[in-house]
Amino acid sequence: MAIRCCSCRSTLLLLLLVSAVPISIIVSLESTTWTSSPNRHHLRYRSLGLVRECAKWDASGGRFLVSNFFGGGLAEVSDVDVGAPAERTLMREPDVAGNVSLGLVVDGGRGRVLVVFSDLFRHRYAAVGAYRLDNFERIFLTRLSGPEDETSFADDVAVDSDGNAYVTDAKRNKIWKVGSGGALSSVIRSPLLERRKEWYHLVGLNGIVYHPNGYLLVVHTDGGDLFRVDTSTEEVTQVDVEGSILGGDGLELLSPTKIVVAAFRPSARLVESSDDWRTATVTGTYSGPLHRVAAAATAKDGKVYVSHLFGGRSHVISEAVFSPLSSAK
Ligand SMILES: *[C@@H]1O[C@H](CO)[C@@H](O)[C@H](O)[C@H]1NC(C)=O
């Protein structure tokens, strides 16, 4: 779930943010196409922030949890069945002030949510925090990287069945592993993950999900690669994907054989595997409000919802209905 994170793109982003242009573009585009499709649920919520990076459904609370980017914390959108609810801020992490909040994962079994924090422009700080779902008190805040370390861009997080957290580094293509109590336990690196060195590969390891069979699935945005990382051996293999997942951002595991890959264009792809993710096939695509830039996917009541980076006075979480790809087997 990365915002494009190299310094040139960051500068571009900054320019975009300080101008009123994106808001007016959004307003003019909203009057067309995707909003008018019937039988689909587009949740539009009021928000004061221009960028919202990730939204995940919290079933126990009946709400979407949203990382509020420059807000440096979390917000919630509840009342999801009424028109245009307002976002409510739940938590701001004071100890990482100045960093942005990015990927998040709801660890419902342990009654907590984990959030990634990153230094957007200088890439000199990275952390992951865990918070109680009932009152958003901090359980732990673990620094992953600081000014004395190599630059990094912590991006997204997944949690395994034992409560270990795995955080992707979109800049250095590694994965930090943090134990359930918050201790940094290892850093997973592999030549396979790092092999993309060409100048145009700016956003690396990004969306990550834990598969109940004991491995992580991780997407490399600019390489268009999907990797499978065994959580006990830390062995990395590449999933042989038929079809393109180039630009893949946030992931969601829908079932043991299906994941959703959010992206800029199309907004989401459905990817399926029948051999425990040694090979996979892109079987469907969904195009939502492209100008808002899809960044994350989540599942709610058997449906897929895609959240978007950019908004003005409102943000959109749209239901993804996939069109089958004719080339899919
Ligand atoms: C991120 O948080 C750390 C820890 O508090 C702080 O030292 C650093 O200055 C923050 N980064 C930015 C860009 O403000």
Cα within 13 Å of Cα(191), Cβ side: 0
Place 6 in a pLDDT band, splitting at 50, 70 and 90: very low
Mutate to test the pocket of ligand 1, among 116, 119, 123 (most ligand atoms within 8 A of CB): 119
CA distances in angstroms from 276 to 47, 237, 258, listed in the order given: 40, 12, 10
pLDDT digits (tens, 9 = 90+) for 108-126: 999 999 999 999 999 999 9
Calculate how far, in angstroms, residue 98's C-alpha sits from the geometric centre of ligand 1.
6
CB contact set of 131 (below 8 Å; sequence gap of 6+):
74, 91, 112, 113, 114, 115, 137, 138, 139
Calculate how far, in angstroms, residue 96's C-alpha sits from the geometric centre of ligand 1.
5
The pair of structure tokens assigned to 326 is 């004719």
Among the atoms of ligand 1, which is closest to the Cα of residue 96?
A: 2
CA distances in angstroms from 171 to 21, 36, 59, 220, 299, listed in the order given: 28, 38, 32, 11, 28
User: Closest Cα to atom 4, ligand 1: which residue?
Assistant: 96
The more confidently predicted of residues 37 and 196 is 196
pLDDT digits (tens, 9 = 90+) for 122-168: 999 999 999 999 999 999 999 999 999 999 999 999 999 999 999 99
Calculate how far, in angstroms, residue 64's C-alpha sits from the geometric centre of ligand 1.
27
Q: Residue 314 pLDDT > 50, yes or no? A: yes
Among the atoms of ligand 1, which is closest to the Cα of residue 122?
A: 13
The whole-angstrom separation of Cα 58 and Cα 168 is 22
pLDDT digits (tens, 9 = 90+) for 280-306: 999 999 999 999 999 999 999 999 999
Calculate how far, in angstroms, residue 321's C-alpha sits from the geometric centre of ligand 1.
39
User: Closest Cα to atom 3, ligand 1: which residue?
Assistant: 96
Among the atoms of ligand 1, which is closest to the Cα of residue 124?
A: 11
Confirm whether pTM is higher than 0.95: no
CATH number of 8-42+99-293: 2.120.10.30
Percent of the chain with pLDDT over 90: 79
Q: Residue 310 pLDDT > 60, yes or no? A: yes
Mean residue pLDDT across the chain: 89
CB 85 within 8 A of CB 68: no
Cα within 13 Å of Cα(121), Cβ side: 7
Residues in the chain: 329
> What count of other Cβ atoms lies within 10 Å of the Cβ of residue 162?
8
Place 313 in a pLDDT band, splitting at 50, 70 and 90: confident
User: Closest Cα to atom 9, ligand 1: which residue?
Assistant: 98
User: Closest Cα to atom 14, ligand 1: which residue?
Assistant: 98
Calculate how far, in angstroms, residue 119's C-alpha sits from the geometric centre of ligand 1.
7
Among the atoms of ligand 1, which is closest to the Cα of residue 147?
A: 7
Residues with beta carbon inside 6 Å of ligand 1?
Answer: 95-96, 98-99, 119, 125
